[in-house]
Amino acid sequence: MVDIGPSGTAYNEDAVVLIGRQGDQTIRCETVASAAGTIPYEILVGLNGRIPREYVGGAVAAD
């Protein structure tokens, strides 16, 4: 769950960046962890498979 604040507005299918970069703004995992009172590892392992992922840029290593 994400709190967008009292003046925030969000609609179904809006693009949302929880961790990463969009335009000239960046949200680091360390920042999210600090706000949650935990460590970055716990934030990352808490992201489950229900969240769609989009890989942007660079080559993906083959197995």
Q: 3-52: per-residue pLDDT in tens?
A: 888 998 888 888 888 888 889 999 999 999 999 999 999 999 988 878 77
Is 60 exceeded by the pLDDT of residue 63?
no
- pLDDT at residue 60, rounded to an integer: 63
Structural domain includes residue 12: no
Structural domain includes residue 42: yes
Structural domain includes residue 2: no
Is 70 exceeded by the pLDDT of residue 53?
yes
Residues contacting residue 15 through CB under 8 Å, at least 6 positions apart: 22
- pLDDT at residue 61, rounded to an integer: 62
What is the span of the domain harbouring residue 28?
A: 17-49
Structural domain includes residue 36: yes
Structural domain includes residue 34: yes
- pLDDT at residue 42, rounded to an integer: 94
Counts of helices then strands in the chain (DSSP H, E): 2, 2
Total number of domains constituting the chain: 1
